[in-house]
Amino acid sequence: MDIISQIRTAASNALKEKFQFDLAPADVAVNETKPEFEGDYTVVLFSFVKQLKRSPDALGKELGEALLAANPGLFSAFNVIKGFLNLTVADSRWIDFLRTEHANTAFGRQPANGKKVMVEYSSPNTNKPLHLGHLRNNFLGWSIAEIYKAGGYGIVKTCIANDRGIHICKSMVAWQLFANGATPESTGIKGDHLVGDYYVLFGTVHKEQMAALIAAGMDKEQAEKEAPIMKLAQQMLVDWEAGKPEVIDLWKKMNSWVYAGFDVTYHRIGSDFDKTYYESNTYLLGKELVEQGLRKGVFFKKEDGSVWIDLTADGLDQKIVRRKDGTAVYITQDIGLAVKKNEEFHSDLSIYVVGDEQNYHFKVLKLICQKLGIPAADGIFHLSYGMVELPTGRMKTREGTVVDADDILDEMIVEAEKKTSEQGKTEGFTDAELKDLYDIIGIGGLKFFLLRVDPKKKMIFNPEESIDLHGYTATFVQYAYARTRNVFRKGGIAIDQPIPATEAATPLLPAEKALLVTAEKYPGVLAQALEEMSPSVVAAYAFELAQTFNTFYNLHYITTAETPEKKALRLQLTQLTSTILRSALALLGIRVPERM
C-alpha cells in the first residue's frame, strides 16, 4: 500500500476509534505538505470539523496524537497549522519501503485484472507518407497501450489502413497521367514518398484546372467538381468499388509501395500492431449495416438516393452514411470496423487515438453504433488530441508543406550528434556505439517532446528544444539514468542484483528522503496516467525523479559513503531510481543508454 493510502486508512481508523466518526479512507483528503511547512503529508481537516464540533486546531492536535500513538512505525511527528494536520513520516517506514522494492523490476506495475483494452492508432491514408502529426499519434497510442498494460489490462494494438476512397484515387490518377511507369525501384524513392509526390502533384494540377475554369466564368465550388482531373478521380472511385480489374491492379501495386515504406518508418519509431485492418475490407460490412439500419428505421433515404441519419434530437445534425452513387463514406467503414473489432477481440474498451479535428465524427460514430444496437458501442472512446503545428503554422499535405516523418527523424539524429559533440561526450565510444547513442538520444528526444504535453493541447514542435541536457527533455532523464548505471559500473557492483540489507541507516538526510518520497510516487503516477489517458503524467514524473536523483548524486558519495550502512542505503536508492527511470521511459517508448 502506498504512503497516501496508508495515511488515509490510518486517519479513517483514528477518526472512528477516537471520535466514533465514520469516514471512508478514500474521503480523507491528503496532500503533500507545502515546502514552507514542516512535514511530509497533510491531512485536510475542514471537511469534518463541523460534524465533530471542534475547532480545527483542537481537532488536529487530538487526531495527530491519536495517529502517532496508533502508528509509531508510520509517523514520527506532527504539527497543526490553520486546519491542516502536517504529518512527518517515520524514517523506518521509508527504509522498509526501500528494502522491499529496491530490486523489484516490476515496481509500479499491477497484476492482470482480466479486462481487455483495444487501442487504435496511426491509421494512415495510403496516399502519402507518415508526417509529424502521425508521429504524435503513434507515440501517444503506443504509450497509452503500454500504460494500460502496466495497469494490468490485456492490450490489443490495432491500426486501420485507410486504403480506399477519393484521396487514394487522386494519387492513382496522377501516377497514371504523369509517372511514365516510375516505381520505387526505378527512382530510388521510398514507396510512400513516391505515392505522396503524386498526391501533391494532383493537388497542383487540380488548382491549375480550377483557376482556368473560374477564369472562364465558373464559380469556385463548381470548378472544384468539374476540373477534369477531379472527374477522373471520381470515376476511378466508382470503378474501384465496381471491381474494375485494371483499377484494382493499380491500387494493389501502389498500396504495396506505401506499406513497404510505412514498415520502414514504423520500425524506426518502434510502433507495432497486433492487428492491421483495411478500410477496403471493412467498408462492405459497413454498407451492409447501412442497409440493416434502413430497414430498422435508424437511417433514411433522400430523394437523390443518398442515405442519412438524423441526430438533431441528440444535439447534432444530419449525417450522410452513403452517397447517392452508392459509394461509402468514411464513417461507413468505421461502423463496419467497430463490429469486426468486437467480433474478433471482445474488448471492454476500444480507444480511438485520433486528432481533435474528428471530435464530431466520433460522437456520430458512437451514436450510430448505439442506435444500431452494436454490442461494442458503449465501449467506444475517442482519445482526442491536439494537432502538432510548426512555428510557421499548420501543415497541409496537398500543398506539400507537411514535415515528413522520415525527414524529422533524420534531423533529430543529426541534432543529437551535434549536441553530443558540443558536450564533448564522445570519448571511449566505437562508431557503432555512437550511431546507436545518437539514435537513442534523437528519437528519444522527439518522443518525449511530443508526449510531455497533455494530449488535449495543441503544440508547436521545435527540434532544437527537444534535445537539451539541462532542459525538460528525454536527454536530461536519459543522462540521469546513465549516471545510475555508472555508479555501479565504476564501483564494480552488479546493478541488477539485490543489495544486501544492513542495519537502518537513519536518520535519513534530506536528499535521501526526498529521493525516497519521489520514488514511492511511481505507482500512483501510473494510476493517474491511466485514468487521464495521458503519457504527459509519466514524462513529468520521470523528469522530477531525474532532478531529485541529480540533487542526491551531487550532494552525497555513494560507493564511498561515510558508513557501510549509508553505502548500502544509497546503492539501493540508486538501484530503485534506475529501475523506475528505465520503466517510465519504456512506457513512453524511449530507450535508455548505459552510458552517455
What is the rounded average pLDDT of the residues 372-383? 95
Please report which confidence band the pLDDT of residue 529 belongs to, taking 50, 70 and 90 as the band edges: very high
Q: Examine the fold and report which residue of 68, 89, 110 is the final residue of a domain before the chain moves on.
A: 89
159: left (phi over 0), alpha (psi -120 to 50) or beta: beta
Q: Examine the fold and report which residue of 30, 65, 89 is the final residue of a domain before the chain moves on.
A: 89
Q: Which of 536, 445, 452 is nearest to 147 (CA)?
A: 536
- Do 174 and 299 lie in one domain? The reply is yes
pLDDT at 75 over 70: yes
Helices (H), 452-559: 474-491, 510-520, 522-532, 535-555
pLDDT at 405 over 80: yes
CA gap 376, 348 in Å, rounded: 8
pLDDT at 469: 75
CA dihedral for 89, 95, 96, 101, sign (positive or negative) = positive
- Residue 111 included in any domain: no
pLDDT at 100: 92
Cβ-count burial of 22 within 10 angstroms (0-12 exposed, 13-18 middle, 19+ buried)?
exposed
Please report which confidence band the pLDDT of residue 241 belongs to, taking 50, 70 and 90 as the band edges: confident
pLDDT at 212 over 60: yes
Residues sharing a CB contact under 8 Å with residue 582, sequence separation 6 or more, in sequence order: 481, 592
pLDDT at 134 over 90: yes
Q: Examine the fold and report which residue of 399, 432, 464 is the final residue of a domain before the chain moves on.
A: 399
- Do 202 and 68 lie in one domain? The reply is no
- Residue 94 included in any domain: no
**What would the DSSP string read from start to end of 246-262?**
HHHHHHHHHHHHHHHHH
Domain count, the chain: 3
- Residue 442 included in any domain: yes
- Do 468 and 574 lie in one domain? The reply is yes
pLDDT at 209 over 60: yes
CA gap 28, 209 in Å, rounded: 69
CATH of residue 533: 1.10.730.10
Range of the domain at 78: 3-89
> pLDDT tens, 539-591?
999 999 999 999 999 999 999 999 999 999 999 999 999 999 999 999 999 99
pLDDT at 295: 95
> pLDDT tens, 167-204?
999 999 999 999 999 999 999 999 999 999 999 999 99
pLDDT at 392: 64
CA gap 373, 491 in Å, rounded: 64
Lateral strand order in the sheet of 307-310 = 300-301, 307-310, 318-322
pLDDT at 466 over 90: no
pLDDT at 395: 42
Mean pLDDT computed over every residue of the chain:
94
Higher-confidence residue: 534 or 496? 534
pLDDT at 397: 42
- Do 435 and 478 lie in one domain? The reply is yes
Query: Which residue do the cell numbers 523489484 mark?
Result: 104
pLDDT at 400 over 90: no
- Do 228 and 155 lie in one domain? The reply is yes
- Do 287 and 172 lie in one domain? The reply is yes
pLDDT at 463: 75
> pLDDT tens, 100-133?
999 999 999 999 999 999 999 999 999 999 999 9
- Do 323 and 429 lie in one domain? The reply is no
> pLDDT tens, 305-354?
999 999 999 999 999 999 998 888 889 989 999 999 999 999 999 999 99
pLDDT at 401: 56
